[in-house]
């Protein structure tokens, strides 16, 4: 994928089309927005093939499952332990 920052480069849309035929083009706008330019036919074909791909669908199902939950008290306790380790190393290094 080619990335073009429109804050630093000036492109004409018609000049972008041949580039987008070879690879998707990520356009970065002046306010940080992102646009993707790619041939529509390829996108539609890819969506259709992925929709019918059982392995890819299993991958998506696996990725969408929630992970293990950690109580906030455990997180805070871990932060305190790590902070005390850092403080101890700062004192011994001084």
Q: What are the tens digits of pLDDT across the range 7-58?
A: 999 999 999 999 998 888 999 998 889 998 988 776 777 788 788 889 889 9
Domain count, the chain: 1
> Could you tell me the residue range of the domain that residue 64 belongs to?
2-93
Least-confidence region, from 17-26, 33-42, 69-78, 80-89: 33-42
Whether the model pTM is above 0.85: no
Question: Measured between alpha carbons, how far is residue 40 from residues 15, 24, 27, 36, 58 in Å?
Answer: 17, 11, 16, 11, 26
């Amino acid at each position: 994928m080619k990335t073009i920052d429109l804050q630093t480069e000036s492109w004409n849309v018609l000049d972008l089309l041949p580039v987008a035929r070879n690879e998707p083009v990520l356009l970065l706008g002046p306010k940080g927005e992102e646009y993707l330019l790619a041939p529509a036919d390829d996108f539609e074909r890819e969506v259709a093939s992925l929709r019918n791909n059982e392995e890819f669908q299993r991958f998506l199902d696996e990725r969408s499952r929630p992970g293990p939950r950690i109580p906030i008290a455990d997180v805070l306790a871990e932060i305190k332990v790590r902070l005390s380790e850092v403080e101890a190393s700062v004192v011994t290094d001084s």
